[in-house]
Amino acid sequence: MPTPDSGATKLWGGRFSGATDPLMEAFNESIHFDRRMYAADIRGSRAYARALHKQGILTADEQQALDRGLAEVLAEWEAGKFKLRPGDEDIHTANERRLGELVGAVAGKLHTGRSRNDQVATDMRLWLRDEVQRLAAFLRELVAVLTTRAEADIDVLMPGYTHLQRAQPIRWSHLLLSYAFWFQQDAQRLDQFVPRVSQLPLGSGALAGNPFQVDREWLARELGFASVTPNSLYGTSDRDFVAEFLFHASMTMIHISRLAEDLIIYSSAEFGFVQLADAYSTGSSLMPQKKNPDSLELLRGKCGRVFGGMSGFMMTYKGLPSTYNKDMQEDKEPMFNAVDTLSGSLQIAAAVVATLKINPDKMRASLTSDMLATDLAEYLVRKGVPFRQTHHISGAAVKMAEDRGCQISDLSVADLQTLHASFGDDVKQIFNFETSVDNRSSIGGTSRATVEAQIALLRKWLA
């Protein structure tokens, strides 16, 4: 009789007579991280047992015994009572070993025609498909928070920036909605990704296919997959779905990081536009006056973690020969980490935005009339002067105001007429920030009407 630690008890042990180096045992095992796929693994096994019964490989009694045993294994995991044993190198080995303890020798029939190669690919796709739908829901919640905030703060004006220099007046809502549309696209990308992750590899065997004519399309329906992988070599070796998900996660984290960066800048004393809730800030161990935006800094920092996981996996993936190679064990940790990091980040970002206090007076005080220099040029355009000329004329007005140590709005009509005869008394009407923002009334602009239209678009999508 083989001992519990001998090679004969391993799924692959029959070929080997020597013991495995304990260091190699630890190096090879993945149970400490892939155990989180326990439910997906059991779900796939229960469906596969039913498929084997359909083909006459299992009797009805055998299939029902396996199903009851697998249900008991699942219950142990969910109750926190599952006991790992030496030799449980991965979740598939652990579940099959425990199934054998519960139902006896019939457990050995479950793996008929199935390999861990198509089993693990199925588990990963099942697990990730469910997680992607959860992440898409978190993205929609973040879009909803940004949209609600934009609607509530629609009358608040602030400087818009290019090169981090004050450029033109905009609505605070307009800035919030820019991020809402980024996150909407992130959610749409995840939705479009679902059919590609929802391809069933089960029934591909180790690489060459299943010799027992298992009905793969029936299996796909049972497990909620949209289709089956059309080629068994592709089915066992494809990890494009991991790479694509890591890209989507990285892109979303980049958007979260950019939002965090804007809010970090605007929360500084030099700006003072926003203030984070205490729940999302920390203090200094030395300086009592400090209120640090640690939540935002962590959001910004965790972007690097997710992107690093993607780039590392791509370097592993790029040089693999066809079908399964053990390098593919490196696909799970970056996938798990990206799901966890993105999940937490989306929820924290939504909470930060929802609880953020703004200082409309400080935002308004940061608007200066030189930010209306473009409006001055556009005034002359409406008088028939070519824009290339009006740009230079407006620039000359800015310089005149700088030389006099005043704002361009302080220049008299007579002063402006020295630059161009088309200036009239109505020029003074342009030195108004509300007028400036409401003139930007083409689709996508910062006028009240166009911002309301953006909110309506997002509300429709959310509904």
Residues classed as catalytic? 163, 284
Nearest 10 degrees: CA dihedral of 56, 58, 60, 62? 170
Measure Cα distances from 434 to 165, 181, 282, 367 in Å.
Answer: 20, 24, 37, 11
Q: Which of 223, 33, 8 is nearest to 119 (CA)?
A: 223
Whether 276 contacts 296, CB under 8 Å? yes
**How far is 415 from 410, CA to CA, in rounded Å?**
10
**156-172: burial string, b at 16+ Cβ within 10 Å, e else:** bbbbbeeeeebebbbbb
Q: What are phi and psi of 455, to 5 degrees?
A: -60, -45
Nearest 10 degrees: CA dihedral of 8, 44, 128, 213? 100
Is the CA virtual torsion 154, 256, 252, 336 positive or negative?
negative
* Tokens 């001055």, residue located: 376
User: Which residue type sits at 92?
Assistant: H
How many Cβ atoms are within 10 Å of 198's Cβ, its own excluded?
Answer: 19
What percent of the residues of the chain are helix, what percent strand, and what percent coil, each to the nearest 5?
65, 5, 30
Whether 94 contacts 84, CB under 8 Å? yes
Helix (H, G, I), strand (E, B) or coil at 424: coil
Angle at 318 between CA 315 and CA 324, to 5 degrees: 110
Q: Which of 242, 253, 255 is nearest to 310 (CA)?
A: 242
* Tokens 């390999």, residue located: 115
Whether 160 contacts 440, CB under 8 Å? no
DSSP labels, 44-55: HHHHHHHHHHHT
